């Protein structure tokens, strides 16, 4: 060790964790995008082994001594922020025994792998035994974290993805949304019922969709030397900041879904590619929270991608790949991309219906983790809330109901991030438009620099330097204010 400071010793350990995390991320991407089915057992075992190894590293007894010593050392502001984030990760990991970490990884892999066929077969009863085990372990984890931090079980899991956020705060924010969202959806559907929307006429060959997607990624500034585009059953952005892996899925009768999916994932990717390079191996160099991550993909997809200016910019590219047809007129594309139609599937939901899907999941998963309901209660609650919030009947349709998401096979506390992200994104663009009054006409001309420059300066380059509230306040002048979100939706859909 020589003359190393305690802080330097900690950063070395976290650099090792970062490199193991790199391997784990690429192996996970491969599992979702490339791996043949028979590889699953071996991959799950290898990933679980790697998780145990990483857990041993972060729970080594000497880290406690180093953390205490580093707190007394002379550090600059960035190092101090890094020490804060190291401490946060260390505390979370040390509250969980290695046996629980391994059991969770294995149960999640088993549940997720079986879910793939169970969802196709509408087989809720088949899914239930694996799901019960995942839930049991999630509650065990939540209990350990909650006892140590003095918060509720659900808040303890929420804090992993949204540091500082509480379910009380979410209930207030989402409770407000529930008072105006159903009325706004009804109002907009009434308004749109008189609009003529021309549907694009397929088929749209997958290879041409792929080329269009790659061009869109180029427009959006994706660095192809530091990432790639592939296919998976559930679109995601994975990999690592130096090698970002985006996936999408294609249907030859609909290019709209894959194109906006790619725009969405490119937002995640640009955040990863824009994180502070000098700090990448350290916790302070990571994305701030899942809500902030989602605010990047929704800045790209909802604020930018579905704006009239961007659709004017992309219309010629759509014509280039699929030929000319009346549906590809920019105004028609704008109507197409802002069509409000309540449906079953969250990932296909329009911008207005999407938060209802998220609120429903938040309410169910909070009740599950806090022990108010059991796994077998999910379908009935799901049916009731889908009908109340969106007027959609899901009875008996598990495939398009409570089996549609991959998340509950291994993760609780994540769903609120999606709507928090939409709220943050609306707040950014409210400020951006004030600072750049001609933003929309610049976007239409292909000048997207004001958007990227602002996000890079205020969000990407900041990593985890600040708390979420402070990051947002520094960028926009105030912490999260959901009023911007409502104003954005009313302006776009009723304006």
Q: Known catalytic residues?
A: 265
Residues 6+ apart with CB under 8 A from 272: 237, 239, 240, 241, 244, 287
Supply 39's token pair.
Answer: 């590889």
| Of 97, 108, 91, residue with least CA distance to 48 | 108
Asked if the bond preceding 434 is cis, omega within 30° of 0, the reply is: no
Instruction: Please give the C-alpha separations between residue 79 and each of 4, 8, 284, in angstroms, as whole numbers.
Output: 15, 10, 8
Q: Would the CA dihedral through 323, 327, 330, 336 be positive or negative?
A: negative
End-to-end Cα separation, the chain, in angstroms = 65
User: Residue 231 is inside which H or E element, if any?
Assistant: strand 227-231
Name the DSSP letter for residue 230: E
C-alpha–C-alpha distance, residues 423 and 354, integer Å: 12
Q: Phi then psi for 244, rounded to 5 degrees?
A: -85, 130
User: Residue 245 is inside which H or E element, if any?
Assistant: strand 243-248
C-alpha–C-alpha distance, residues 286 and 289, integer Å: 9
CA 95 to chain centre: 25
Angle at 95 between CA 89 and CA 97, to 5 degrees: 115
Instruction: Please give the C-alpha separations between residue 386 and each of 271, 361, 395, 400, in angstroms, as whole numbers.
Output: 33, 10, 10, 11
């Amino acid at each position: 060790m020589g003359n190393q400071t305690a802080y330097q010793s900690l950063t070395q350990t976290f650099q090792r964790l970062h490199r193991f995390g790199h391997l784990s991320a690429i192996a996970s991407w491969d599992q979702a995008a490339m791996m043949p089915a028979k590889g699953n057992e071996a991959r799950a075992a290898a990933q679980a082994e790697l998780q145990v190894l990483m857990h041993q590293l972060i729970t080594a007894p000497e880290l406690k001594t180093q953390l205490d010593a580093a707190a007394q050392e002379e550090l600059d502001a960035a190092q101090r922020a890094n020490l804060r984030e190291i401490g946060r990760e260390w505390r979370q990991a040390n509250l969980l025994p290695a046996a629980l970490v391994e059991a969770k990884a294995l149960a999640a892999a088993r549940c997720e792998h079986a879910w793939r066929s169970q969802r196709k077969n509408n087989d809720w009863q088949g899914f239930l035994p694996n799901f019960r085990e995942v839930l049991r372990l999630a509650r065990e984890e939540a209990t350990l974290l909650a006892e140590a931090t003095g918060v509720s079980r659900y808040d303890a899991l929420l804090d992993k993805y949204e540091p500082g956020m509480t379910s009380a705060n979410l209930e207030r924010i989402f409770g407000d949304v529930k008072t105006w969202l159903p009325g706004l959806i009804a109002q907009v559907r009434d308004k749109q019922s008189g609009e003529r929307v021309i549907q694009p006429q397929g088929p749209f060959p997958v290879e041409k969709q792929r080329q269009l997607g790659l061009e869109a990624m180029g427009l959006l500034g994706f660095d192809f030397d530091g990432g790639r585009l592939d296919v998976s059953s559930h679109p995601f952005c994975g990999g690592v900041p130096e090698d970002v892996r985006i996936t999408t899925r294609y249907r030859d009768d609909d290019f709209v879904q894959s194109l906006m999916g790619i725009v969405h994932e490119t937002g995640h990717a640009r955040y990863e590619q824009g994180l502070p390079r000098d700090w990448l191996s350290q916790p302070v160099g990571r994305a701030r929270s899942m809500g902030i991550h989602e605010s990047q993909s929704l800045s790209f997809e909802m604020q930018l991608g579905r704006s009239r200016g961007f659709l004017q910019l992309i219309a010629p590219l759509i014509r280039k790949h699929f030929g000319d047809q009346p549906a590809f007129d920019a105004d028609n594309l704008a109507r197409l991309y802002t069509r409000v139609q309540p449906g079953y599937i969250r990932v296909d939901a329009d911008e207005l219906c999407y938060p209802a899907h998220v609120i429903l999941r938040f309410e169910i998963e909070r009740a599950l983790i806090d022990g108010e309901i059991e796994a077998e209660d999910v379908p009935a609650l799901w049916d009731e809330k889908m009908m109340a919030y969106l007027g959609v009947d899901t009875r008996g349709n598990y495939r398009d109901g409570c089996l549609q998401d991959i998340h509950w096979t291994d993760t609780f506390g994540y769903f609120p991030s999606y709507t928090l992200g939409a709220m943050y994104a609306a707040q950014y663009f409210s400020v951006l438009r004030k600072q750049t009054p001609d933003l929309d006409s610049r976007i239409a001309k292909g000048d997207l620099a004001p958007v990227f420059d602002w996000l890079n300066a205020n969000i990407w380059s900041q990593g985890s330097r600040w708390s979420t509230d402070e990051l947002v306040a520094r960028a926009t002048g105030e912490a999260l204010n959901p009023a911007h979100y409502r104003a954005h939706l009313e302006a776009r859909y009723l304006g």
